[in-house]
Chain A
Amino acid sequence: MQRIAWKYYPRQQDHNTEQNREKSPASVQLQLMMSSSFNIFRVGISFVIMCIFYKSAVDSLSELSPQKYFSTLQPGKASLAYFCQADSPRTSIFLEELNEAVTPLQDYGISVAKVNCVKEETSRYCGKEKDLMKAYLFRGNILLREFPTDVLFDVNAIVAHVLFALLFNEVKYITTLEDLQNIENALKGKANIAFAYVRAIGTPEHRAVMEAAFVYGTTYQFVLTTETALLESIGNEDIENAHLYFFHCKQVLDLTLQCRRTLMEQPLTTLNIHQFIKTMEAPLLTEVTEDPQQVSTIHLQLGLPLVFIVSQQATYEADRRTAEWVAWRLLGKAGVLLLLRDSLEVDIPQHANVVFRRAEEGVPVEFLVLDDIDSLISHVESNVHVEEIQEDEDEDTKSPNMDVQDDEVAETVYRDRKRPLPLELTVELTEETFNTTVVASDSIVLFYAGWQAVSMAFLQSYIDLAIKLKGTSTMLLTRVNCADWSDLCTKQNVTEFPVVKMYKEGKNPVSYAGMLGTEDLLKFIQLRISCPVNITSVQEAEEYLSGELYKDLISYSSVSVLGLFSPNMTTAKEDFTEAGNYLKGYVITGIYSEEDVLILSDKYAATLPALLLSRHKEGKIESIPLANSHAQDIIQIITNALLETFPEITVENLPIYLRLQKPLLILFSDGSINPQYKKAILMLVKEKHLDSLTPCWLNLKNTPVGRGILQSYFDTMPPLPLLVVVNLHSGGQVFAFPSDQPITEQNLLLWLKKLEAGLENHITILPAQEWKPPLPAYDFLSMMDAAASQHPTRKDPECTKETDVQENDKKQHEDKSAIIKEPIETLRIKHWNRSNWFKEGEKSFRHDNKEL
C-alpha cells in the first residue's frame, strides 16, 4: 500500500534538490510523471512517493501547553491545534487520526499540535466541558477556523478541511448552476476551470481535489460543489461518484459560446487529478515529422498512448481538422499528433492512415487502417482500458489472481447453483431402479455427475426439454447421477460426462451424439421412429415423400430419404437398413422394395438400387444411385445430401460445414437475407463458380455472436450486409467484399477472380496461436524447495518490508521495487529447467542432512 503525498519544501533549500531529482534517471514511470511539474507556484512543491510507513519513522503529534503553543506560532504559517483537557479516553480515536494527519499537513507547511489545557493556565480555546473540545486553525496567531472534532472524522477529513479553509480564495464553493455559469462567463478568454463534484466535504475525493488545488490553485480556477442537482444539470447522472471537469475557457473568445468541457474518467485520486491536469495543459495537437518511434511527449510519460494521424500535403487541411477533432475526443486518454508523411524519412506502410504507439517501452508501433473516427476512438479506448487494468493489478497484487474462475461453464453453473430446478420432471434412477425402469418403458437416460460443471449445464437443458415434453411424450426422461451411482455408470460404459443414451425395451442403448442442447435432443427423441420405415405401397411412398406420412416430424427433419430396391436386392437392402439405423434420430429414412418399385423409379428417373431425397422446404425430390454402396458410403451420401447449398450458418450447424474443409463465403445479414443476394449466390453456385468455397449466410438476429465475429474482423461493426471469405483451414486470411459495390453476380464473380489471382488484400489474418494456459499454476515444487532450504522464513513478510522501507528512507523512492509486494511464486512449468531441480534438490538434501 502506498500513498502519494505532495511534499512541501521550504523555498531556499529546495531548488537544488529539485534539479537533482529531475535529472536523475528515474526508473519508475510514476516518478517520471511526478518529477516533471515543478516550480509552479509559491514555494517549490514536489511530489514524492512516500510509504505509509514513513510517518511512523518521523513526525508525531507534539504536545504543548497553551502558553508554549502560542509562543511557537510564526507569522504567516498555518497551524492546527487541538485543545483538550487532561487525557480523556473518548478522544483517542480522533487523536489517532490527527496523529496520522501530522505528516501530510506538514508537507503543506502546516504544523499540528495537541494543546493540553492544564488548570493553571487556561486559555479561551480550552472548552469548559470535555465534550466541547475543538480544533482550531491559525495562520500566524490569527484564528482562521474552528472545527468540532466530529467534522474531522478521519485523516482525509482533517487534510481536506484544513486545506479547504486555507484555500478559501482559490477554491470557490458553489451550489447552483447559475454560480457556475457566472464563474464560467467571468473567466472566458482568461483562465480554465477545474470543476469538481464530491459527495461530501471531508471525503477522500474532496481531499484529493484540495491537494490538487493547493498545487494548481493559482493556475486554474477551482470550483467545488456537493450539490447533486448541479451535477445533474450539466448532464451527469452518476451522483454516486465524485467527478472532475476541466472547462476549457481560456481560448473562448466569443462570450456567447460555452466553454468546452472534458470529463476526467478515472476515479478522483491525487495522482489521477495531477495526471489529468497535465494532459489538459499539453498542446492539443502537435505536428511531427520524426519517426513515430522516437517522438516523446508528456503523454508517454504519463502512461498514455500516442495516436499519429498520417497526413500528406494534398490533404493537409482536412487532415488537420480531422486530427483536431480526434484530439478533442481523446483528450485525457491519448496524445494526438499529426504526422506529415511527405517530410518523413522513415517509411511507413502505404495504406496506413493511423499510427498507434503504446506507452510501454519496447512495444513496436502499430500501423492501422481505419475507416472512420469512431473506430479510431474505440481502438484507442479499448487499448487504454486494458492498460488501466494492468496498472491496477501491478499496484495491488502484481500477479494475476489465479483463484478467479475463468471457465465460463464452471462459473455460470456455480452462479446458478441456488436456483432450484424442477428436477422432479425427470425420473432419478438408482442402481436398484435402473434395470427395471429401462426395461419397462422406452427411456432416455442422462448420465451426469453432480460436481461436473458441463454436465450440470446440460442438465438444465435436459430439464427444459422435460418441461417441453411434459405429458406429450411416450419416452421416459430419466437421469443417473454418476457421482452417486458410479458402478452403474461404469456398467453402462459411461466413463465421461455427460452422456445421453436411449433405451428401447432395455436393450441396445443408442448413444446420443448431437449437440448438448434442448433443441437437438428434442429432435433426436422425436425422430426415434424405427429407421428405415418399411413403406408398403406406392401411394404410401408418395405420401412419405410429400411429407404427409410423418407430418409431425417434418419440422425436425427437413429431408426424407427413401431407398428404392427390387425385392431381390438383399445385400443392398441390408446395407441401407444399417445406414438407416445409424442415422436414427437425425434423419427419417424409409425403404420400399415391393414388386411395383419400377413405378417409382421410372417416375423419379432413378436406376435401382437408388435413393430418393425429398427436401420438404424446397419441395424438390432428387434421386441418387446406390449401386455397390456399402453402409458407410450410404451414410456418407445421406449426410452430404443433408447439407444445403447456401445454408444459414448457425452455432448448431457450423461444424458440419467446417468438415468440408473449404474456405467459407459468409454473407452477414442483419435479419433475413435479401432475396437478390441469395439469387446471385445461388446462380454462382449453379454455374460452379463457388465449388472451392462453402457459401453460407449468417443472420445476426438469430446468431448475435456474429457481431463478435465482425468485430474481430473489422474492430468496429461495418455496415451490413457484408460478404467475407474466411480461409479457415489454410492461412486464416479474411477478405471483405468491397462494401461500396452492390452484391451482384458479376461483381462477386469479378471479386472472386481477383481473390483467386491474389490481387485482393486481406483485411485481417486470424490468429494462429495455440491455446495456452490462461494463467500460471502454483509452483509447489519450488515452494517446497524454498521451505526446505531456508527454514521457518517468511513468517511475516509485511514486517520485512517495513524495515526495507525505513532503511531506504533516505534514498527516498529510488528503490520502489523493494517495496512492491513480491510476486508469489508462480512459474510456467515449461520454463522449469531440469538441471536446476537437481541442483536445488541436492542443496536442500544436503541441508536436511546437516540438520539431522
Chain B
Amino acid sequence: ITALSWHTYPWSVWPIPLCSTNQAPSGWMGSVTVQMFVCLLQGSPHIQVDIYERLPVPFGLVRFGVAPDHPEVKNVINTFTQTAQHKRCHFLGNVHVGKDITIQELMQAYHAVVLSYGAEGNRTMGVSGEGLPGVYSAKDFVGWYNGLPCNKELQPDLSHETAVILGQGNVALDVARILLSPLDLLKKTDITQNALETLAASKVQRVLMVGRRGPLQVACTIKELREMVNMPYTAPDMLPADFQHVAQALADLPRPRKRLTELIMKTLNEDHRGRQGVKRWGFRFFRSPLEVLPSADGSRASGIRLAVNKLEGVGDAVTAVPTSEVDEIACGMIISSIGYKSLPIDPAVPFDFKRAIVPNNMGRVEETTGLYCSGWVKRGPTGVIATTMNDSFDTARTILQDLESGAINVSVSRPGSSEVVPLLEKRGVRTVSFADWEKINAEETKQGTAVGKPREKLLDVREMLAVAWT
C-alpha cells in the first residue's frame, strides 16, 4: 500500500494543480502529509491540491496503523477532514498510481507532484523458517486488526500459550497490548469484529518482546510502556540479569531515556510471583533471531533460536555483536516488528534501495524537476504523527520557495484533474470523492453504533465502492 501525493499548483488565472497521491495504508502517514496542503493552500490563493489515494478511504496509517485503543491519537482526523474539505483541495480515491496512471502522466498534468506514499513493505528477519505458518509481520498483524482490506484473511493462529515479538518499538508494544488486553476494553473500540472474535478465543498467555540490544536502547516510548505496566490482569516478566549495568548509567541519561528506563526497572522490583491467572508480558534483551524452529511435523513454527549478543561502542552508536552463545524460546507465534520499508513506485522515479527512500534534497526528488517527496518515503519509516507532520510542513515550504523562485515554471498552465480524470475513466477507473468517503464513513459509524463501537470498518474494497457510489 503506497501513498502518493500529487500537488498541482494553480497560479494567476490558471489554476495550478498540485497533486498528491496517498496510496496504501503505510502511506497514510501520508495522510499526515495532507497537513502540508494547509501550508500550500494558505501559501497562495491560486494553489489547488489534488490527493490521489489507492484505497477508497483516506487517512492512511491514522486509520490503519494507530491502535484501536488509541482513539485520541485519531483525533487528528478532524484536522485532516477540514483540510480535505477546503474548496481548493480534492480527494480522489480508488486510483492506483503506477498502474492506473503513471508518475510521468501526472507530472505532465500538474505543476508539481509530491510523493507521500509511505512504506508498504517490511524488513524481513532473513532467517530460515521465516516462511512457516505462525510467523507474521507486525505490518500484516496490525493491518489485520485494523481492517486493512488486504490483510482480512490473515487468520493468525492464537492457539498457543507464548507469542514472541521481534522488536521493541511502539508497534511491538501495540501488538503485545492488543494480544493481552481484556476483551471488555477492546470491544468498545473500532477493532474489527473478526479480530475481536479471534482474540476472544485466544490462548495466548505470555508475550515476549525481543531486542538485539539492551534496556538502554529500547525503542518504544514511555506512554506505550506505561500502558503495558498499567494493563489490568497482567504482570511483567523480565530477566534481572538483563539489567546488570543499567542502574549506574541512569544518572547521566537525558530525561526522556532516564524516565523510560526507570519505568522498566520499576517492574523488576515488583513481586508478582504469587499471582495466579494473570497474563505475562516482558522484554528479552541482547537477542537476535537465528532461525525459526519448526514443529516436529514441520507444519508450523514452534520456537525461535536466538543469538546472544554483547554490546560494543558507546552512546547512540552502541551496536549488538553476536557471541557464540545461543538461546531458544518455545512459542507458537512469532511476529516480526523490526521496521517498515518503502518500495519503488514507478521506474521513472529514482529510488535508493540501500536506504529504501526516494533520494531527495529537502524534499526535492533528485534528478527531477517538479517532483517532491514527503514523510516516510522521504526520511525513512520512523517517527510519530508530529514528526511526519513537521516534515510535511518542511516539504510544503520547499515547494512554496520553488514557486516563488521560478524553479517550478507556472507560466504554462496545466490541466490537473480535468485531464487526469477523463484519462482514468477511459481506463475504466472511477474515482471516489471526499463526499463519497463521507458516505462510507456514515455507514461504518452506523454499523458500529449498533454494536457499541465507534465504527465497524468495511473490510472489502468492493463494498466500500458500492457504498461510495450509491
Q: Do A and B bind each other?
A: no
